[in-house]
Chains A and B, each alone.
Chain A
């Protein structure tokens, strides 16, 4: 399993393209929104939490089809499915690699973008915390969506249609943590709910994704 993780990480780093791209996309969203809604600091402070979370969502979505598509095309996915590793574990490792290469850089970059969007200072900690807890859920939910569409020629648009509704609870609780945190209100409930979604998704979805992959490889 560790070998698989390292392999995926190495591929992501060396093949280029996917790794920096979603981070750049995240930056784009943060730059484009103020251009669209106007530079008034009060407005930006109000929407900063939501914009950053929606940006994280879309950035994660962009890189999802890479999780399985390349391995499906060159046949490595068949090998992985017949290997002694449980397929659920394979899915979890691939989602983890996806998170390490797209989610983690995004978490690290988020405070800088929060400056651009004039997030109130109290919110910074909670932005980091909520993204750090929430983005793993985005990766594993996305891996499930990718496993459904892996056999399709043009699955990209469909992937978005399938995955975005599944992202809704994560988005709501994640943005709520930042918003309440920025206002200095208590954040216990949404934070706990966010953590619960992440934990639950990591526990259940690898199995569902493994089922989908088996159906796709048949």
Chain B
């Protein structure tokens, strides 16, 4: 019994079919509870008014946007080292989800920033690095779409993911450096635990857990779709040969 057992598509399909309903229900429950708690049962913050409540979407989405890329990186490494197809397909499946989380983070951030900073967008280091992360997601997804042979596509996107991770990391620090002296950087310290009082912290935790489960659920679901699509392509090509 090892974790590599699940690299077998059949085993993966069986296990994920068992897990999916539970994961779906659990993430729905956690998200529902967390958002309800956050939106209706917490008081308005002194400085932020009711705009604080967007934190329950903004912070978990932003966290998952980065985690999704990390997961893609790990899955790509597994594909390059051990050549498990499920791993490559999971990386492929995670990319659009990660992109969506990134966009949610950017959009909710803009909606939050408008009343708080008086602007939809500022070239703040954090905002800029997120925009750059969006570009990396676009490139990764576009490369998957462009290549027909699935194994070549998996190889090339995996290499891109590795190199992209290094450069995304570099960009993060380059951007921090670049913005020094331009402006002080609107403080986003609401993210930090010590700055948020418990009233907001606990529903936020529930929402984060909900987002993590939502991500796992969606990745499993999309990976299953990818596996089925791969099987269908194999069947069709066999039919054509026969």
Contact = CB atoms under 8 A, between A and B. Distances in A.
A172 B132 CA distance: 13
Interface string B104-148: 000000000000000000000000000010011011001100110
B77 interface: no
A65 interface: no
A172 B163 contact: no
Nearest to B167: A166
B178 A172 contact: yes
A211 B152 contact: no
Interface of B is mostly: helix
A148 B156 contact: yes
A190 interface: yes
A166 B162 CA distance: 12
Interface residues of B, number: 28
A206 to B, nearest CB: 12
Contacts of A162: 139, 142-143, 160
B226 interface: no
Nearest to B141: A161
B174 A193 contact: yes
A193 B138 contact: no
Given A158-B143, A190-B177, A204-B166, 4 more contacts: A161-B139, A168-B174, A173-B174, A218-B152
Interface of B: 132, 135-136, 138-139, 142-143, 146-147, 151-152, 155-156, 159-160, 162-164, 166-168, 170-171, 173-175, 177-178
Interface of A: 144, 148-149, 151-152, 155, 158, 161-162, 164-166, 168-169, 172-173, 176, 189-190, 193, 197, 204-205, 208, 211-212, 215-216, 218
